[in-house]
Amino acid sequence: MHRFTGTFTLWRTALQFIPVCLLGATGLFAQVQGGGSAVPTCADGDAHLSCYTSIVPTAPTAKFILPHESHRFQQIHKEGTRYTIGGGIVPANHDFTAYLPIAGSSERGYLSINHETTPGGVSNLGVHYDATARLWRIDSSRAVNFSGADLVTTMRNCSGGVTPWGTVITSEETYTSGDANNDGYDDVGWLVEIDPATARVLEHGNGKPEKLWAIGRASHENATILSDEKTLFTGEDGTSGALFKFVADRARDLRAGKLYTLVLDEPMNGFEPAGTTGKWVEVPNATPEDRNNTRALAIALGATNFNGIEDVDVNPLTGQIHFASKGAGRIYQFTDGSKGITEFTTFVGGMSYSLNTVEGTVEEPWGIGNDNLVFDDRGNLWVLQDGDNNYIWTVGPDHTQEVPRVKLFSSMPIDAEPTGLTFSPDYRFGFFSIQHPAATSEPQRDATGDSIVFNLSSAVIFSRSGNLGEQAPVIDFISDLRIIQPGEIVTFSDVSTNGVENRRWVFDGGMPAVSTDSVVEVSYSEPGRYRVQLSVSNTQGEDSLSRLEYIEVERSTRVDELAERTHLSVFPNPTAGQLSIRMEDTAGEMLTFDLYDLTGRHLATLDHQSGTAGSRTWTYDVSPFATANQVVLQITVGRRVTRRVLQFIR
């Protein structure tokens, strides 16, 4: 999608015989009276990507804004950085940003990023999610090769689509004429299918990479392929403003099929549909001449001009097709069925909406420029805006213009537009780009914790805060004993997760009484029941835990008979992997050393043998069990048993 300028001059696209929409004719910012406020569709605690409180509407600022109470982002693949394969520098104007899973993974795949430049380009990245750091990593990056006599070039790679069979389609949003290689086809203005695994344009049976000629030539904005693996929708952000449907002859094969354009039964009334029905009119696409002139054929066959079609997407809950008209500032929806096109209506746009923000209810006009669209698994429509305030909106599955369900997710830095949102298969992560921000953008922190700045085009990954970057600690501790004798040593271990940078123990009645170590040996001299407290923190937050009467120091003289009789010693503890057990005078007894995890699951028997006279030390390598922080060593001598908790040193 090219930048929506305020001077989007309708006269330039005006066709003398097609009704021209006039701005303002239908009250672009009309306010619904008593329309009700947008209500959240998420229950409390719902961690779906679409669950957030609207940001406060704002004109673009020097920073990227998203709901920081619930979401985080990570900037990657910035313009000007180096490709890791084949050399070269990442070009500008990031556009469609497609996540393509490897084997269905939501944590390992390819990113295909269009560059809406002249000449254009497509970046191909191998990426994975580092679950420990909770950050995405780029494993490889390279440019898709469009040079050579077969393809000549590519230009203004705008949006695109991901096919159900795992390829990606890039859309050349241009209508520049010329046939440099004399193959009968104009060089640009096509959809192009790319294999993300090889970063190569697909061949279509002629022994050379080729563009998708049969879908026709236009200023293609996008491509959306249905799950039947045959039906493709694409729109023209150009003179015809037409919506196209291509039905392939065979599944997964886009080189041949029938092409249609949408003709409404009643012409548009300004930006609003006057009727609800329409039909698909077949557009010839048999010869190179037909295919080179799809735009002219659509106009000649009466294609309805929707004034700059941007993205098209299908609602996963209803199957209805939705598409954006940038010039109209509307998203239309219709049912495509056996009766042709029915239920054609305006889904969203053309008015103001009430937003429930952290600062209360705010009215905000939808404005112009709705551009990229994508549904999530719950039927929320995410709308990326190229115009007015360059927002990302979400529209709930139960939205109607009468009872709106609109929320505001994000605001772009000055001069930037959001482009090309896709999701991981589990809808935990969103992938999009921030195109052509101003050089004056200010630094901000992303999920890496580093200071970044949106002063050049880059891609962005966003998620719920818990999935990206360092997290606040989740506190917990354990001890090897809870009931002890006076003077007996208890070993406490901090088992908090997410990284602890600061720690403070308080052992009421213990010695020591306070500590900052992760593992602490404490003794208690007086009988009683004692509280143990632990506080931990890192840069993301803090947590504390207080356990009352956690340690009981017994008044009785109950002793560990086995330990006392054999002078049992288990060392070192904590251990890096080697474990020694020393006992005395065990002759005539059977000895068994077992390891259990903290849930009581038997891990291994270290030894089973007869005892010996005198003192003896047995030594074992227990490093294979160091995947847990602690294990329990059970020592059996004859019919007596005792246990020790082993702490592993990391």
Partner 1 sequence: MPLRTYQIALLFSLFVAPALPAQHANNEWPVYTDVSAALAANVPARQLSLRDRHLFSLPAGTEKLRQLTYLNLMRNELEVWDPQLTALRRLELLNLQENNLRELPESVGNLCRLKQLEVTQNRLKTLPDAVADLRQLAYLQAGFNELDRLPERLGRCRKLRVLNLQGNQLSRLPASLRRLHQLTHLDLSYNQLREVDLDWSGMKRLSKLNLEGNNLRRLPAAIGALSNLHTLILTGNELAELPPQLTDLTELKLLVLANNQLTLLPDDLSKLTNLRTLILTGNPLPAAEIERVRRALPNCRVR
> 300 vs 613, which CB is nearer to partner 1?
300
Over the window 24 to 53, marking each residue x when it contacts partner 1 by CB under 8 A and - when it does not, the resulting string is ------------------------------
Residue 569 to residue 246: CA distance in whole angstroms? 78
Candidate list 293, 305, 463, 491; residue touching partner 1; CB under 8 A: 293
> 213 vs 423, which CB is nearer to partner 1?
213
Over the window 419 to 448, marking each residue x when it contacts partner 1 by CB under 8 A and - when it does not, the resulting string is -----------------x-xxx--------
Sign of CA pseudo-dihedral 318, 40, 388, 268: positive
Size, binding site for partner 1 by CB under 8 A: 52
**Closest separation in Å from C-beta 311 to partner 1:** 21
**Closest separation in Å from C-beta 97 to partner 1:** 17
**Per-residue DSSP letter, 88:** -
Residues 6+ apart with CB under 8 A from 475: 496, 534, 535, 536, 543, 544, 545
**Per-residue DSSP letter, 495:** -
- Check residue 117 for interaction with partner 1 (CB under 8 A): yes
Site for partner 1 in 123-162 (CB under 8 A): 143-147, 152-154
Over the window 455 to 484, marking each residue x when it contacts partner 1 by CB under 8 A and - when it does not, the resulting string is x-----------------------------
Helix (H), strand (E) at residue 563: helix 561-566
Evaluate whether 327 touches 14 at the Cβ level (below 8 Å). no
Site for partner 1 in 6-25 (CB under 8 A): 12, 15-17
Candidate list 24, 178, 275, 572; residue touching partner 1; CB under 8 A: 178
Burial class of residue 493 in the structure, from the number of CB atoms within 10 Å of its CB (0-12 exposed, 13-18 middle, 19+ buried): buried
Candidate list 122, 392, 534, 551; residue touching partner 1; CB under 8 A: 122
Task: Count Cα atoms within 13 angstroms, Cβ side, for 219.
Answer: 20
Strand partners, 524: 510
Residue 166 to residue 51: CA distance in whole angstroms? 28
Rounded to a whole number of angstroms, the CA Rg of the chain reads 33
Residue 95 to residue 324: CA distance in whole angstroms? 16
Residues 6+ apart with CB under 8 A from 643: 632, 633, 634, 635
Select from 323, 147, 145, 294 the least CA-distant residue to 212: 294
Candidate list 113, 214, 299, 453; residue touching partner 1; CB under 8 A: 299
Helix (H), strand (E) at residue 284: none
Query: What is the number of residues in the chain?
Result: 650
> 145 vs 580, which CB is nearer to partner 1?
145
Candidate list 46, 69, 139, 289; residue touching partner 1; CB under 8 A: 289
> 67 vs 91, which CB is nearer to partner 1?
91
Candidate list 46, 179, 266, 442; residue touching partner 1; CB under 8 A: 179
Give the pairing of strands 451-452 and 630-637: unpaired
**Closest separation in Å from C-beta 38 to partner 1:** 31
Of 95-103, 279-287, 563-571, 621-629, the window that binds partner 1 (rule: CB under 8 A) is 279-287
Rounded to 5 degrees, φ, ψ at 227 are -70, -10
**Closest separation in Å from C-beta 178 to partner 1:** 5
Angle in degrees, CA 351, 356, 361, rounded to 5: 75
Helix (H), strand (E) at residue 598: none
Site for partner 1 in 54-83 (CB under 8 A): 80
Over the window 302 to 341, marking each residue x when it contacts partner 1 by CB under 8 A and - when it does not, the resulting string is x---------------------------------------
> 300 vs 514, which CB is nearer to partner 1?
300
**Closest separation in Å from C-beta 16 to partner 1:** 6
Strand partners, 244: 234, 261
> 301 vs 506, which CB is nearer to partner 1?
301
**By three-state DSSP, how is residue 80 classified?**
coil
Candidate list 34, 87, 207, 360; residue touching partner 1; CB under 8 A: 87
The residues binding partner 1 (CB under 8 A) are: 2-3, 12, 15-17, 80, 87-89, 91-93, 115, 117-122, 143-147, 152-154, 176-179, 284, 286-290, 292-293, 296-297, 299-302, 414, 436, 438-440, 455
